[in-house]
Structure 1
Amino acid sequence: MGAFLDKPKTEKHNAHGAGNGVRYGLSSMQGWRVEMEDAHTAVVGIPRGLDDWSFFAVYDGHAGSRVANYCSSHLLEHITDNEDFRATETPGSALEPTIENVKSGIRTGFLKIDEYMRNFADLRNGMDRSGSTAVAVLLSPGHVYFINCGDSRAVLYRSGQVCFSTQDHKPSNPREKERIQNAGGSVMIQRVNGSLAVSRALGDYDYKCVDGKGPTEQLVSPEPEVYEIVRADEDEFIILACDGIWDVMSNEELCEFVKYRLELADDLEKVCNSVVDTCLHKGSRDNMSIVLVCFQNAPKVSEEAIKKDAVLDKHLESRVEEIMTNAGEEGMPDLAHVMRILAAESIPHLPPGGGLAAKRSVIEEVYNRLNPHRESDGDPTGTEENSAHGKLVEALREVRINHRGNYHELLQEML
């Protein structure tokens, strides 16, 4: 399940940019994990004649960051420089590739970079056993190409609703399970050979050494699924994120939360930061990375939304003051107790998708002001992970996240 820190690292890496009719922002946070293994790519304007194309990706590394970091720097060139992608070029020209060229070139690029990295000395000799998922979008003037290998995910928000989502590659999926079993492996506790939680990834060469099987027939496949969608004026935004985000928010919840934040501020870095902070407070224990790509039809800042949010903040501030003022003989309540009281109340107009967790900073600010002599418990999420009870709760949370409530099947496999 991976090792965890006593206290999450909440410092964030941010970036933003614009071009080709889109704006983007990104945020990544190490969180509770001992290491930061995520990486990302954001390129507006692709070399060799595709100046009006753009590429964005998130890579969720595991067992190390080597594969994720290399892919973040080199996957795009492996895609756009191979012959399948550039098949329509003639000497002295750089024609745009056809849809089939693009899809074929993306697949070839993934297989090529996976084979290329296999020759790295530390990966070849087993000193580094890292792997990485990859989720990306390649934007041409007319199409969006969604690319997915693993359980990171991308969604398209169009006309006020989730229009498209990539599908996670989990070992328990029937198609993935069939390939794993055909390669002599098994799916136990919904993991490849009881160990790896994803069925497609780059790297992970311990799972790619079955004799007589091609690269896409191994226990873990580096082959991406590629979907092309015609761009529309109604397109609002695309979100790419690792499973540290999706573990605690559904597609609809995250899109609604991003829409809510975009109506409060047009700073895309801040919007992304609010996502990772909220996911941390909702219980995510993983590294978290998100890339937000906004089209021209993205939600705009709304004065009405700003006023409504300010009213909510005032209400929460007054409620925290009341709770702490009325504590009486029981003494000053801790922050976790205040959060539990608020969670039990029916508070109108909480942020969609984020709920009370999205207002953690507002609540914490009032609490800290009224209780300046509090003892720090080293846990900004207000939970009890540092106690024996907290560790048990965390273990159960990991089971819930990894097995999506399939406890009966899980117990059968364990027995």
Structure 2
Amino acid sequence: MGAFLDKPKTEKHNSHGEGNGLRYGLSSMQGWRVEMEDAHTAVLGLPSPGMTNWSFFAVYDGHAGSKVANYCSKHLLEHIITASVESGGSKGSQSGSDSSCSNTPAVDPPAVEAVKGGIRAAFLKIDEHMRSFSDLRNGLDRSGSTAVGILLSPDHFFFINCGDSRAVLFRSSQVCFSTLDHKPCNPRERERIQNAGGSVMIQRVNGSLAVSRALGDFDYKCVDGKGPTEQLVSPEPEVFVMGRAPEQDQFVILACDGIWDVMSNEELCQFVKSRLEVCDDLERVCNEVIDTCLHKGSRDNMSIVLVCLSDDSKVSEEAVRKEAELNKYLESRVEEMLSRAGEDGFPDLVTVMRNLSSDSSMPTLPPGGGLASKRSVIEAAYNRLNPYKEEDGSGADLECHW
């Protein structure tokens, strides 16, 4: 919410891992915001009998502070596991797949409906637990957080969403599924807000909060006579269950609205698909997404988790060749423009980018990313050839001008 820095903080936090038949990479960056309020979770193999071949990933987009997001990133999963088991989960079985010792009975994983109920119960429980924190209870900390996640069993996806972060599934080279953003202007959300005595103004709860479901945000959860899911802001997640299709499933993306504000579901998935054809480093792919969104104009914190579900994805020699040709073309065009500097003076980077954006002979740019995804290549060439460049390179607010 609110204030911005004079220039974005572009240092990134990265992580990656592999197991349970999948690979993941993640990246997060503070960007233009004065504070980093995002958090994330990535766990391969859940710490519960019968669930060691399950995995969990989530992104938390905090607002008005980072406390709720950080707490949930550390503790929500344990609430989900506990509540799922209590809802009718693991029982001793001779047929369970986790048995590694004849003296230890195997344990079946929780049933689908038990997991769904456990996820919902976990959100309500952790929200009520955080309400007891003294600084949150006394209004000294008014933070809240969205939460979007995916729980993967060997057979099912459990997509989890509370707020306006988003998850998408890319299957058979198209967007197969997307979670639904919880915005105050949605009819169902608006009805609950109004029934709780609130209003929706400028697409915000009481003209202030831009999401209608979130963890924390206890200033919006104090209407007498209303249950936790009937408040102005609800902590209740929507849970969508889908069967896995190993032959068709390609990847899942979880991201906060700092990403989705400037890229649609289709744009982001096509961009990621194109990057995976030239690079198998998932951290690098996630970094490219964040840099591209920065140059497309995102002013928010940005976090993305990319979960690759297919183990047969391979870098394409043809795609690598075309990528190299594109980079070489861009470098030559920058050199050409700078070499023609004359009476009008040396062109700044904004002018160079504007000219490139109108170049009709440009080779095909990465789908979804466009010229913004090639900003680093263009800027590197510009700085190398520009005798008048400043110490810190070009203006970081380039997206505002072209």
TM bucket (normalised to shorter chain) is over 0.9
Q: Determine the C-alpha separation between the residues in 1 that align with 2:279 and 2:398.
A: 30
Task: Tell whether 2:337 aligns with 1:323.
Answer: yes
Map 1:59-138 → 2, pairs under 5 A: 59-82=60-83, 86-90=87-91, 94-138=107-151
- 1:374 is displaced (CA, Å) by 1.6
**Is residue 234–residue 297 contact of structure 1 (8 Å, CA) maintained in 2?**
no
What SS is found at the alignment partner of 1:345? coil
Query: Does 2:142 align with 1:141?
Result: no
CA distance in 1, matches of 2:399, 2:83: 52
In 1, Cα distance between equivalents of 2:239 and 2:7 = 38
Name structure 2 gaps, 5 residues minimum.
93-104
Aligned match for 2:251, one of 212, 237, 254: 237
Distance in 2, Cα, partners of 1:378 & 1:223: 46
Q: Could you list the per-position Cα deviations for residues 28-70 of structure 1 after superposition, in whole angstroms to 9, with x for gaps in the alignment?
A: 0000000000000000000121100000000000000000000
CA distance in 1, matches of 2:312, 2:209: 37
What residue in structure 1 maps to residue 54 of structure 2?
A: 53
Over residues 317-356 of structure 1, what are the superposed CA-to-partner deviations in whole Å (9 max), with x where a residue is unaligned? 1111111111211111111111111112222310100000
Asked if 1:335 is matched to 2:349, the reply is yes
Distance (Å, rounded) in 1 between the aligned partners of 2:282 and 2:399:
33
1:353 equivalent to 2:373? Answer no
Measure, in 2, the Cα distance between the counterparts of 1:88 and 1:29: 38
CA distance in 2 between counterparts of 1:368 and 1:148 reads 43
**Aligned partner of 1:179 among 185, 189, 192:** 192
Residue aligned with 2:54, SS: strand
TM-superposed CA distance for 1:296, in Å, is 1.9
- Report the Cα distance in structure 1 between the residues aligned to 2:375 and 2:44, rounded to whole angstroms: 34
**Separation in structure 1 between the aligned mates of residue 313 and residue 31 of structure 2, nearest angstrom:** 29
Matched, 1:272 2:286: yes
Unaligned runs of 5+ in 1: 394-415
Q: How many residues in Structure 1 have an aligned counterpart in Structure 2? A: 387
Contact 2:20 2:44 in 1 (8 A): yes
1:94 to partner: Cα distance: 3.1
Deviation string 1:346-401 (CA, Å, 9 cap, x unpaired) is 2231010000000001100110011143235776435397xxxx8xx9xxxxxxxx
Q: 1: CA distance between counterparts of 2:166 and 2:36?
A: 19
Q: Distance in 2 between matches of 1:100 and 1:69?
A: 28
SS at match of 2:90: coil
Other-structure match for 1:300: 314
Q: Which residue number in structure 1 is paired with residue 101 of structure 2?
A: none
Give 1:48's aligned amino acid: S
Hey, what's the Cα distance between the residues in 2 that align with 1:304 and 1:330? 40
> Residue deviations 1:46-105, cap 9 Å, x none?
012110000000000000000000000000001111266551334666321111101000
Q: Of the candidates 383, 386, 389, which is equivalent to residue 398 of structure 2?
A: 383
Distance in structure 2 (CA, Å) of the matches to 1:43 and 1:372: 48
Contact 2:64 2:144 in 1 (8 A): yes
Which position in structure 2 is the counterpart of 1:14? 14
Equivalent residue letter for 1:369 = R
Distance across 2 between alignment mates of 1:79 and 1:379: 46
Match of 2:44 in 1: 44
The answer to whether the 8 A contact 1:85-1:104 is kept is no
2:314 matched to 1:314?
A: no
Shift of 1:142: 0.1
Are residues 284 and 298 of structure 1, via their aligned partners in 2, closer, same or farther at CA, if it must alter by over 3 Å? farther
Q: Distance in 2 between matches of 1:84 and 1:215?
A: 23
Could you tell me which residue of structure 1 aligns to residue 95 of structure 2? none
Deviations 1:134-153 (A, max 9, x none): 00000000000000000000
Pair 1:83–1:274, CA change in 2 (3 A): closer
Is the CA contact 1:19–1:44 (under 8 Å) kept in the aligned structure 2?
yes
* TM-score normalised by L of structure 2: 0.93
SS in 2 for 1:296: coil
Aligned to 1:164: 177
CA contact (8 A) 2:146 2:164 kept: yes
C-alpha offsets along residues 203-224 of structure 1, whole Å, 9 cap, x if unaligned? 0000000000000000000000
